[in-house]
A and B are shown apart, each in its own frame.
Chain A
Amino acid sequence: MENIFVYCELENNVISDISLELLSKGRKLADNLECKLEAVIIGHNILELPKVLFPYGVDTVYIADNKKLSPYSTIPHTSIFVDLIKKEQPQIALVGATSIGRDLGPRVSARLGVGLTADCTELVIGDYKDNKTGKEYKDLLYQIRPAFGGNIIATIVNPDTRPQMATIREGVMKKEIVSSTYEGKIINIDVESLLKDDDIVLEIIEREIEPRKVNLSGAQIIVSGGFGVGSKENFDLLKEFADLLGGEVGASRAAVDSGYTGHDRQIGQTGVTVRPKLYFAIGISGAIQHTAGMDKSAQIISINSDPDAPIHKLADYAIIGEFNEVIPKMIKFYKDESK
């Protein structure tokens, strides 16, 4: 009762990074609220997974293991998660803002009749006073998220409904192991009694998930290109530079929409959020939709021939120039200097 739930996503029976990020944040919130952190894993052949979770400071792992539950499908997972929430009455339930979490979260919130805040980038515990009723609330979950295309940051609360539910964006919370010896307990859920036959309305014909080839959230150096890079071929130059530095190639939405590179490289509000130690923004104008996903980078170098491009304001080093002149020079000097 009154604990914190984290729904753990699986891909090929591996716990997704987003879930480990949520558990790390959940641990801090649980310490703050002096309650337990509880993980929920729903899938098949997952009995080995709890030991991966305990080091993140998980006190309880609820496991629903049944072949009808893998791969993820909306209604069966909703039924199991809702039933558990009703029994255990957590005060907070967190889900990743991924294609799975954004499919499940709203379904669960509507079934329970509780509020859900989408795509949060920060969670904080704090008090709230309803200005209309004058009622005061202690220790609510502040669900902080960009809205209106990233031009505003809103703090949302769910004063009266429980659990307080939120989906959280990938890559914004840090993964942190509490202790490799942290011990929690495992509770198995009796799945058969919960699933109705008509819960299985969807048949999965095919599922092709590429193993995570691009690892933007883990990259220390990111070389990102925008619409100004101009072509797929020019992105090869970015790739060459990124490989040389041991980094990854990223892109703005405009570059992805123009087909210069794949969706999996998109950084920004509709893509991944990153915080590398060095970020190159090349031919990127610096619209808030993009910068919302990279402005926490430790150092930013912008390369843009437009001296008024907003990205330059964000940069530690703003290079006013043509990238196809600048990058080859950088490659050359890097090779010379790093010898």
Chain B
Amino acid sequence: MGLKIIVLAKQVPDTRNVGKNAMRADGTVNRGALSAIYNPEDLNALEQALLIKDKFKDTEITLLTMGPPRAADIIRESLYRGIDKGFLITDRRFAGADTLATSYVISKAVLKCSPFDIILSGRQAIDGDTAQVGPQTAEHLGIAQITYAEEIQSIDKSSIQVKRRLERGIEVVKSKLPVLITVHGSASKCRPKNAKLLMKYKYAKTNTELQALNEDYMNSFKAKPYLNIEELNLDDLGCDIERVGLKGSPTKVKNIENVVFKSKDSKRLTASNRDIKGLIKTLIESRVVG
């Protein structure tokens, strides 16, 4: 049995590691200083796809990522780990999209890869933390969804059983295929890059990236068609221009404020008996405790 799996992944700024050098003197974030990484929960999703492929060798994994040209890194990172093919959905006209407009474009790209059995993606991306694109894509496609998945317990030709990780417990559900599954960060961690695959796909490039390279490279590239990462734009996907980008986004950003760490008037204490005893006394006297 072989399944057709589509993985949705996103390149994100590493918002979890906003180190000292990423903070400006005024306390705001310097986005340029953040590195672009594979969205962590999308790696959990990729691992789920690879686990299915380990079990059913004929499984085919296609990865879709949407973003600027440099997001091709996500496809290379995924090729090194064992996907079969990747597409980069990229078009300036998609810029400024909210989750609804994004999910519309992704659903059009999924249809391009039809038929499929399972779509896997991370629960949410760390730049927006919305967890909306997965379910919205499932709705556009009119298929079932399982969010917050932690473990795929069994699969057969027509159904899948999944354990979900909820805030205060678990739920095990069985769904018909096709289904879209969003994977929680508590699921298995993604395997490392495979050295052989890394050698094989190191020079995989999109057409946009190829334009910057010399002719020698082009010739060796032509001999290895698997190195080509296909790009898909608005016209390739047949998207309605009214439904993409800023125009297709019902939510608008009214304004943005940077969070600035403000120093409170804080008292500095040590671990000495005097300081700690004094503090406890103050807390009891002010009835904060006791």
Contact = CB atoms under 8 A, between A and B. Distances in A.
A186 interface: no
Chain B contact residues: helix, strand, loop or mixed: mixed
Given A149-B16, A155-B253, 7 more contacts: A103-B147, A113-B250, A130-B252, A152-B258, A209-B169, A317-B269, A329-B273
Nearest to B269: A319
A278 B175 contact: no
A316 B281 CA distance: 15
Interface string B269-290: 1110101110111011000111
A205 interface: yes
B241 interface: no
A98 B280 CA distance: 37
Interface residues of A, number: 87
Nearest to B176: A201
Q: Which applies to chain A's interface (DSSP): helix, strand, loop or mixed?
A: mixed
Nearest to A205: B172
Interface in B235-274: 249-259, 261-271, 273
Interface residues of B, number: 78
Contact of B167 (A99, A106, A149, A312): A99
A270 B29 CA distance: 20
A271 to B, nearest CB: 9
Contact of A154 (B170, B171, B256): B256
A98 to B, nearest CB: 6
Contacts of A193: none
B222 to A, nearest CB: 41
B263 to A, nearest CB: 5
A206 B269 contact: no
Contact of A330 (B100, B129, B276): B276
- The 4 tightest CB contacts between A and B, nearest first, are A149-B15, A321-B271, A115-B250, A110-B139
B135 A221 contact: no
Interface of A: 11, 71, 74-75, 78, 98-99, 102-103, 105-107, 109-111, 113-119, 128, 130, 142-143, 146-161, 201-210, 212, 221, 245, 263-264, 269-270, 277-278, 287-289, 292, 299, 301, 310, 312-322, 325-326, 329-330, 333-334, 337-338
Contact of B171 (A147, A206, A221, A269): A206
A74 to B, nearest CB: 6
A200 to B, nearest CB: 10
A161 B289 contact: no
13 contacts: A99-B167, A105-B132, A115-B100, A115-B251, A118-B129, A119-B130, A153-B258, A203-B173, A317-B266, A321-B269, A321-B271, A329-B277, A338-B289
A317 B255 CA distance: 34
A99 B148 contact: yes
A76 B66 CA distance: 30
A115 B139 contact: no
A158 B251 contact: yes
Given A115-B251, A151-B259, A330-B280, A99 B264 contact: no
Interface string B173-195: 11110000000001000000000
